[in-house]
Amino acid sequence: MDDHYLDLVHLHWDTIYRAYSDFADKKPIILLHLKEAKVYDYPFSDFKATLSPRSQKSLDREYQAALKNDDIVVFVRDDDSRKLVSVSLPAESTVVWDQF
């Protein structure tokens, strides 16, 4: 994920973390939708169903790694640039952003 999107995740981290925490036991996928300026949480299978077969395979790998590391999988949807990018971050209320 490039720095621009990571900065946006950082800016919205409190909301992202709250959305994740509400359903942490279900390990949701988090989506930061830039155009709508909203954060959504999705069950893994529901979010996966919206992706292409190639992206589904990539998500499977990222999600399994995130589960092992107790990370949150965050997607950023940028409709203006037609991009959907992801990052896995520690499931902690405070993240040391210099690491990323």
Q: Show me where the domains of the chain are located.
A: 3-91
* Residue 69 pLDDT exceeds 60: yes
Alpha helices in 23-52 (DSSP H): 44-48
pLDDT in tens, 2-58: 889 999 999 999 999 999 999 999 999 999 999 999 999 999 999 999 999 999 999
Q: Give me the pLDDT at residue 98, please.
A: 58
Whether 97 has a pLDDT exceeding 60, the answer reads no
What pTM was estimated for this model as a whole? 0.90
Distance CA 72, CA 61 (A): 13
- Residue 92 confidence class, pLDDT cut points 50, 70, 90: confident
In the block, residue with structure tokens 């990571």: 6
